[in-house]
Amino acid sequence: MDSLDLQVLQQARDWHREGQKVWLVTVIETWGSAPRPPGALLAMRGDGLVVGSVSGGCVEDDLIDRVRHGERVDHPTLINYGVSKEEAARFGLPCGGNLRLVQEPLARIDWIDEVLARTARHELVARTLDLDSGAVAVEAASRGESFEFDGKRLRALFGPRWRMLIIGAGQLSRVLAGMALALDFEVICCDPREEYHLTWDVPGTTFSKAMPDDLVLELHLDPHCAVVAVTHDPKLDDLVLLEALKSPAFYVGALGSRSNTAARQERLALFDLSQAEIGRLHGPIGLDLGSKTPAEIAVSILAEIVAVKNGIALTQKKVGSAMPLASGPLASGVCAR
């Protein structure tokens, strides 16, 4: 779930507390090239002020116009846009796209408080809405689940469905962690070196002083996890790789040149790793963007991780890089996002 949607919930709650009339609008189905995915949220105030998005803008304008002219639903209601080519063009839905929404009045906000509190603890939760009764419930969810709508009930996910484990707490890691948070990753940084622990200052992340291999085993990495080793210290980077390469993590990468990567592969071959497992290593880490600064390197790393997550071929790599052939969890049907 996009962090934008959590911001929508927070603003909707604040408006409600101020005594404003508020409606939530959720995308439930799309066809064609609709700009926002199922589960995307918009909150709308009685005076037409909105936060969030369900389309490129024209649908929002129509929703605002409806509210301002007194069309204010008092129970969850289905709304369809783009049922014809003419209407799709009118509402800016490209390629004949269609959009189906649920609009609901915000009657209570206790469930929003629960969602915000639990996601702040890095929990993944599901909010269900019964369209007949308007009843809302919040429950625990798990990675791999996706938005659901069966005509009577919608179930939307909130919280991080992706996790990034960063080994090393230097400057690059701090920049990388901040960017990963913006992409809705749960971020865990691991560095047993005391001097690095004392200077870690990235809000919203978890820090561990455990040995990297122990932490990997403790976390039970799944296909929604990325592991990034950036300490430049083989004693730490190799420790995490020995366990991460055997895990289902969709991405495992390590910082270093092509020659360092080759040497690392030789070291890993001395342990109980198969050639297929060693072949899962991404190195040098990141896409070839000509990156020089920590921020640019972080962009290249995240670009590669996002590409692998989305099953996109890695064409922007240095010649001779260690690059797995696997396309990632989305391409193999493991993840739904």
What pLDDT, on a 0 to 100 scale, did the predictor assign at position 90?
A: 61
Q: Pick from 32, 84, 42, 85: which is nearest to 66 by CA?
A: 42
Looking at the fold, whether 118 and 96 belong to one and the same domain comes out as yes
Tokens of 293: 């600064």
The answer to whether 49 touches 5, Cβ cutoff 8 Å, is no
pLDDT for residue 60 is more than 70:
yes
Residue 314 lies in a domain: no
Higher-confidence residue of 183 and 24: namely 24
Residue 292 lies in a domain: yes
Number of domain units in the chain: 2
Looking at the fold, whether 185 and 207 belong to one and the same domain comes out as yes
SS3 category, 146:
coil
Looking at the fold, whether 10 and 150 belong to one and the same domain comes out as yes
Looking at the fold, whether 8 and 153 belong to one and the same domain comes out as yes
Can you tell me the mean pLDDT for 137-161? 89
Looking at the fold, whether 207 and 108 belong to one and the same domain comes out as no
The answer to whether 95 touches 117, Cβ cutoff 8 Å, is no
Domain's final residue, options 132, 158, 184: 158
Residue 333 lies in a domain: no
What pLDDT, on a 0 to 100 scale, did the predictor assign at position 53?
A: 86
Convert the pLDDT of each residue in 256-271 to its tens digit: 888 999 999 999 999 9
Higher-confidence residue of 83 and 301: namely 301
Residue with the two structure tokens 């024209």:
58
Residue 325 lies in a domain: no
Higher-confidence residue of 120 and 114: namely 114
Q: Distance of CA 314 to CAs 23, 250, 278, 334, Å?
A: 42, 14, 18, 19
Confidence of residue 334 (pLDDT cuts 50, 70, 90): very low
Can you tell me the mean pLDDT for 159-186? 91
pLDDT for residue 335 is more than 70:
no
Looking at the fold, whether 173 and 265 belong to one and the same domain comes out as yes
What pLDDT, on a 0 to 100 scale, did the predictor assign at position 248?
A: 93
pLDDT for residue 321 is more than 60:
yes
What pLDDT, on a 0 to 100 scale, did the predictor assign at position 34?
A: 53
Listed in sequence order, the residues at least 6 apart from 302 whose beta carbon sits closer than 8 Å to its beta carbon are 176, 179, 180, 183
Looking at the fold, whether 126 and 16 belong to one and the same domain comes out as yes
Convert the pLDDT of each residue in 67-95 to its tens digit: 888 888 899 999 988 655 566 566 555 54
pLDDT for residue 147 is more than 70:
yes
CA 25 vs. chain centroid, Å, equals 21
Looking at the fold, whether 269 and 130 belong to one and the same domain comes out as no
Residue 330 lies in a domain: no
Burial class from Cβ neighbours inside 10 Å (0-12, 13-18, 19+) for residue 301 reads buried
Higher-confidence residue of 198 and 332: namely 198
Confidence of residue 305 (pLDDT cuts 50, 70, 90): very high
With pLDDT > 90 as the criterion, what percentage of the chain qualifies?
55
Residue 327 lies in a domain: no
Residue 321 lies in a domain: no
Residue 331 lies in a domain: no
What pLDDT, on a 0 to 100 scale, did the predictor assign at position 165?
A: 97
Looking at the fold, whether 192 and 300 belong to one and the same domain comes out as yes
Distance CA 205, CA 202 (A): 6
CATH number of residue 258's parent domain:
3.40.50.720
Convert the pLDDT of each residue in 200-229 to its tens digit: 989 989 999 999 999 999 998 988 899 999
Host domain of residue 55? 3-158
Confidence of residue 296 (pLDDT cuts 50, 70, 90): very high
Looking at the fold, whether 149 and 171 belong to one and the same domain comes out as no
Q: Distance of CA 200 to CAs 106, 189, 206, 231, Å?
A: 40, 9, 10, 14
Listed in sequence order, the residues at least 6 apart from 318 whose beta carbon sits closer than 8 Å to its beta carbon are 258, 284, 288
Q: Pick from 335, 277, 267, 270: which is nearest to 306 by CA?
A: 335
Looking at the fold, whether 193 and 302 belong to one and the same domain comes out as yes
Higher-confidence residue of 71 and 35: namely 71
Residue 278 sits at the vertex; the CA angle it makes with 277 and 279, to the nearest 5 degrees, is: 90
Looking at the fold, whether 119 and 26 belong to one and the same domain comes out as yes
Can you tell me the mean pLDDT for 157-168? 90
| CA dihedral (165, 292, 170, 184) positive or negative | negative
What pLDDT, on a 0 to 100 scale, did the predictor assign at position 121?
A: 79
- The pTM of the full predicted model, rounded to 2 decimals, is 0.68
